[in-house]
Amino acid sequence: MKAIQLISLQHELGMSIGLDLHLQTMLKEFTKVCIRQLGLVSVHYYFLQVEDGDAVLPNTDDKAKIRHLLSIPKKSESDQGYELSSAINKILGDGNKHFSTRNKETDEYIYYLALDNIGIIALHKFHTPIDDIIFEVLTPILKKLTISCQASIEHQHLLHAIEARKKAEEAINHLAFHDELTGLPNRRLFMDSLTKELSRSQRHGFLGAVLFLDVNRFKVINDTLGHATGDQLLMTIAEILTSIVRTEDTVARLSGDEFVIQFSRIAGNYSDARKAIQSVLDKIHRVFSEPIRAGEHLLHVTLSVGVEIYPNGNASADDILHHADTAMYQVKTHSSSVSLFYDKQLSADLTLRLALEKELRVAVKNPEQFELLYQPQYTANGICTGAEALIRWNNPDRGVISPAIFIPIAEESGLMLAIGQWVTRQACEDLEGLIKKGVPKTFNKLSINVSPVQFSQENFVPSLLSIIKEKSVPPEMLGIELTESTLIKNIGEVVDIISELREQGITTSIDDFGTGYSSLQYLSCLPIETLKIDQAFVRNIHSDIGNRAIVDAIMALGNSLELNIIAEGVETGEEFACLKNLECKHYQGYFFDRPMPYDNFLTLICNNSVLS
Ligand code: C2E
Ligand code: CA
Ligand code: CA
C-alpha cells in the first residue's frame, strides 16, 4: 500500500515537471503538487545565478551569489531562509544531497535539497518530519527537476535573445526607413508605400496625390541662425505637416528641406481630387502664414508646393514624385503662386530649360554664338538719334534663341555676368567702329540692357568703365537701360551708382516704364535721363483709351522731371500718329526698323546722316 502511494507520489510529482517550459510556471506547478502531497507549508527556491529576478544559467561556481528566486506561497519578510548559508555550505560545498533544520519551539522543519549546479530547494513543514523514504523517492524527481530547470532557463534565454535581436532589427529597420532628425519615413519607405498605393489606386480606380514641399530660403535660415535652429525648424515643420494630414496619409522627409506627403484615396474623379488637395493646400498656407517656432526664434516660413495627382497614365512611382518635384521647382523659380498642379507642359518646360542652361554654358565659352542686333531710335521726323543693342543667341542646333528666353536662365544660373561682359565689350567695339566710320552728329547714343544681376555687383561701375577705356569710346555715347525692378531695391545705393555713372558721362534709361511700381517721389530722386514707355501701353494706343490715358500721364510726368521719353514697340502708323499727337519725341519699334545686324545698322546710319 505504502509502495503504491510512493509510486503515485513519484508519478504525480514527475508529471508536474516540464509541463510548461516557462521556469516560474513549471516550478509553481511542481510546488503545488509538493505542498499537497507532502503536507508542506511553503517551498522556496534559491538559484546560483539570479539576475533581475530571473534565473540565469551559472557559468562560474560563484556560490556566494546564491539568491532567492521564488517562494510559494509568496515569501514573507520573516520567512528568510535563516539556515541558508550553512545549507549552502553543506549541500554545495560538502556535496551532501540534503540538509535539514528543526526549530523545536515552533516545531518547524526546513529541508534543503540540492538542485545540482543550479541551486537549492527548501521545503518548509510543521510538526511532522518528512519520512526518509520520501527523500529516496524525491531523488530522481529532483534530478528531473534540475534538468527541466536547465532546459527552461535555456529556453528563456533563447527567447530573450530572440526578443533582443528582434528589437535590434526593428531599430535598424527604423533607421533604414526613417529620417533620424524628424523620425518621419525616409525616401525609401516613402517610395515603397507610394508604389503600393499607386498600384492599389490603379486597381480600384481611386485617385491619390503627392505633394512635394520645399522650404523657401531654408539655406539662409540655416546659414544665419545656425544648423541647430535649422534642425529645430525642420522638426517643427515635420510636426505641423503630420498634424495636418489624416492618419492614412504619409508625410516623409526626402532630404534637407524637402518634404513629401502622399494622400491615398482622396476621390473618385480628378476634379474632386483637385478640390480635396486645394483645401489641404489652403490649410498648409493658413498654418504657415503664422510665424513658426524654431528654438528661441519665431520665423516666417513659406513653402513651395508641387502637386501630382495619381494615377497618371502609366507613370511610375518615380515619375509621380518627379512630376510633383517639377511642379514645385516651377513654383520656386517662376511662379508667383505658392503651389502648382503638375501638367505635362511643366515637364517639357523644365527639360528644355535644363538643356538650354547646359548649352548656354557652352555658348559662354564660345561667344561667337552670341550676336548683338541694333534697333534704331528715331525722332518724329525720322532722324536716328540712338540705338538699342539687343542680344541674340545663335544656338548651333536650335537656331536663333530670343533673349526673353535665355536671359532669365542666364540670370538664375550665374551665367549673366559673363554674358553681360560680352555685351558691353561687343557694344563698345561696335560703337568704336561706328565712330571710325564717321557717325553723324545727330546720333547721340548706343544703349545696352543691364540685368539686375550685373547692376548689383559691387564692381559693376569699375568693370564698365574699364571696358569703355579699353575700347577708347566716349562714355557719353554709351547708355544703360535698367528695368524698374532693378531700381526698387536700395534707393540710396542705386542713386549713388547712377550718379557715379553720370559723372563719368554714362546716362541711364528706365526700361519698360509703367510696368514696375516706381513711385513718383522715387523717380524724382533718381539721376536718370530717359524713360522708355513699355510697349504694352503703346499697343493700339490710337484705339485703346486706357493705354492712351496711361501714356499721357507718363508723358506729363516725364516732362515735369525734364526726362527724355521714348515710346517702345511702335508697330503701326496709327500708333505712331497717336504718339506724335501726345507730343512724344522719340520712337523705337517695328514700324521704323526691326533690330538688325551691325553691318546693316552701319549702312543705315550713314544713309540716315545723308538724309538729315
Ligand atoms: P527690352 O529691353 O524691352 O527690348 C525691347 C524688346 O522689344 C526687344 O525684344 C525688341 O526686339 C522688341 N521690339 C522692338 N520693337 C518692337 C515692336 O515694334 N513690336 C514688338 N512686339 N517688339 C518690339 P528682344 O530683342 O527679344 O529682347 C527681349 C528682352 O530681352 C529685352 O527687352 C531685354 O529685356 C532683354 N535683353 C535683350 N538684350 C539684352 C542684353 O544684352 N542684356 C540684357 N540684360 N537683357 C537683354
Ligand atoms: Ca531695353
Ligand atoms: Ca523695354
- State whether the beta carbon of 449 lies less than 6 angstroms from ligand 1: yes
Nearest ligand to residue 570 Cα? 1
Cis ω for the linkage preceding 58 (within 30 of 0): no
Residues 6 or more apart in contact with residue 264 via CB below 8 angstroms:
197, 200, 201, 206, 208, 248, 249, 250
pTM of the model: 0.58
Residue 178 DSSP symbol: B
Long-range Cβ contacts of 223-228 (<8 Å, 24+ apart):
225/294, 225/297, 228/295
- For the stretch 140-154, pLDDT in tens is 888 888 888 888 888
Distance 375 CA to ligand 3 centre (A): 12
Q: Is the dihedral of CA 6, 9, 15, 21 positive or negative?
A: negative
With H, G, I as helix, E, B as strand and everything else as coil, classify residue 239.
helix
Give the three cell numbers for residue 273. Answer: 481630387
Q: Which pLDDT value is given to residue 611?
A: 46
Q: Give yes or no for residue 390 CB within 6 A of ligand 1.
A: yes
Residue 467 three-state SS = helix
CA 380 to ligand 2 center in whole angstroms: 20
| Ligand 2 geometric centre to CA of 452 (Å) | 13
Q: Judge contact between 27 and 70, C-beta under 8 A.
A: yes
Q: Which residues of the chain have pLDDT under 50?
A: 77-79, 610-612
Distances in whole angstroms, Cα of residue 404 to Cα of each of 89, 407, 592: 99, 6, 21
Buried-exposed string 327-363: b where 16+ CB fall within 10 A, e elsewhere: bbbbbeeeeeeebbbbeeebbeebeebeebbebbeeb
In the prediction, which pLDDT does 280 show? 94
Q: Would you state the pLDDT for residue 61?
A: 56
Identify how many contiguous H helices and E strands the chain contains and give both numbers.
21, 24
Atom of ligand 1 nearest to the CA of 571: 18
Angle at 544 between CA 538 and CA 549, to 5 degrees: 75
Q: Tell me, what amino acid is at 25?
A: T
> How much is the pLDDT for 59?
66
CB 245 within 8 A of CB 251: yes
CB 155 within 8 A of CB 26: no
Best probe residue, ligand 1, of 374, 449, 455 (max atoms within 8 Å of C-beta):
449
The gap from C-alpha 196 to its chain's centroid, in whole angstroms, comes to: 23
The reported pLDDT for the residue numbered 113 is 85
The C-alpha cell 518724329 sits at: 380
Rounded to the nearest angstrom, the distance between the alpha carbon of 593 and the centre of ligand 3 is: 15
Provide φ and ψ at 561, rounded to 5°: -95, 5
In this structure, are residues 440 and 612 in contact, taking their beta carbons and an 8 Å threshold? yes
How far the first Cα of the chain sits from its last, in Å, is 148
Asked whether 311 lines ligand 1 (CB < 6 A), one says: no
Q: Could you read off the pLDDT of 50-79 as tens digits, one per residue?
A: 777 777 766 665 555 678 888 888 875 444
The span from the CA of 173 to the CA of 167, in Å, is 10
What local confidence, expressed as pLDDT, does residue 413 receive? 85
Q: What share of the chain is helix, strand, coil (3-state, %, to 5)?
A: 50, 20, 25
Single-letter amino acid code for the residue at 176: A
- pLDDT tens, position by position, 460-483: 999 999 999 999 999 999 999 998
- CB of 589 within 6 A of ligand 1: the answer is yes
